[in-house]
Each structure stands twice: as structure tokens, then as C-alpha cells.
């Protein structure tokens, strides 16, 4: 990986910086890019397949989604895990901006957008582009 590929922030203006890390080294590089030190394991528990780390510090709002075990899992399961993490990213966005009851359509479009960004990045990375 040549560097961290920060994905679109268009879920809402301004949305969080968002990236997908497929290894612990990528997670550490993303934190270094944000000038942060790790405060948790790259994936939260040995049983977890993924973790959405949130950095909320001053003007910095980033969600780093870490995914492991993808090489042996069917694509549909990976898609499900990425949707799951997209929901967590959305929840963090709501908490960051104090949104307690977003409209149903706003929520659906936001989660769709985040999930598409994560899935698109995953597909791009598998294709080596």
C-alpha cells in the first residue's frame, strides 16, 4: 500500500474522514497520518472480524474501519461486515454532531453511502488498483 486512501466524506457535509485497513500495519499508518497513537488493538477482540475506530479530536473526525480474515470468507459475508461497520460510522457521525433522531431516509442514504465507499475500496484493493 502506497499510503492511506481516505475515502469520500459525502455522507453529510462535513462527514468523517473514512478509511479501510486490511492489516494492523495499515491501521498504524492511518493513525500516524492523523498524528495519533494506538489506544486499542486494530481489531477489538480475537472473536471480531472488524472494528470501526473513531478519532474525534478538535477538527479531526475520522473513522478507521479495520477488517481481517477476509481472504477465507465469501464476498457476501464481507459485504455484511462492511455494512455493519458502516452503521457504526453513521452512529459516530450522529454522536459527533449531536444528532439524536435523524430522518429515516437520511439515515438509510448515509449508511448506504458509507457502505458503498467501504465496499468500493475493498474491491479496489483486491484488484490491486
Taking the domains of the chain in order of start, what are their residue ranges?
Answer: 17-126
C-alpha–C-alpha distance, residues 89 and 63, integer Å: 6
pLDDT band at 10 (very low <50, low <70, confident <90, very high): low
pLDDT at 15 over 80: no
**Model pLDDT, residue 44:** 92
Count the alpha carbons within 13 Å of 110 in the hemisphere toward its beta carbon.
Answer: 22
61 backbone dihedrals φ, ψ, rounded to 5°:
-135, 110
pLDDT at 1 over 50: no
CATH of 17-126, one of 2.40.128, 3.60.21, 3.40.220, 3.30.420: 3.40.220
Q: Do the Cβ atoms of 43 and 51 come closer than 8 Å? A: yes
- The pLDDT mean for the chain works out to 89
C-alpha–C-alpha distance, residues 126 and 123, integer Å: 5
For the record, the C-alpha cell of 1 comes out as: 500500500
**Model pLDDT, residue 119:** 96
Mean pLDDT to the nearest integer, 10-24: 79
- State the SS3 of 77-93: HHHHHHHHHHHHHHHHH
Query: Of all helices (H) and strands (E), which one includes residue 114?
Result: helix 104-126
pLDDT at 53 over 80: yes
Mean pLDDT to the nearest integer, 55-83: 93
C-alpha–C-alpha distance, residues 42 and 110, integer Å: 25
pLDDT at 51 over 80: yes
**Model pLDDT, residue 2:** 58
Distances (CA, A) of 41 to 5, 22, 46, 50, 66: 21, 13, 10, 11, 10
Amino acid at each position: 500500500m502506497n499510503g492511506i486512501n481516505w475515502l469520500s466524506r459525502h455522507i453529510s457535509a462535513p462527514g468523517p474522514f473514512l478509511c479501510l485497513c486490511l492489516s494492523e500495519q495499515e491501521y498504524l499508518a492511518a493513525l500516524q497520518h492523523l498524528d495519533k497513537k494506538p489506544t486499542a488493538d486494530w481489531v477489538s477482540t480475537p472473536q471480531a472480524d472488524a472494528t470501526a475506530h473513531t478519532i474525534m479530536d478538535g477538527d479531526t473526525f475520522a473513522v478507521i474501519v479495520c477488517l481481517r480474515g477476509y481472504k477465507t470468507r465469501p464476498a457476501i459475508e464481507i459485504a455484511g461486515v462492511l455494512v455493519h461497520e458502516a452503521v457504526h460510522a453513521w452512529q459516530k457521525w450522529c454522536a459527533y454532531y449531536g444528532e439524536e433522531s435523524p430522518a429515516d431516509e437520511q439515515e438509510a442514504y448515509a449508511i448506504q453511502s458509507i457502505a458503498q465507499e467501504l465496499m468500493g475500496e475493498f474491491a479496489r484493493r483486491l484488484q490491486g488498483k
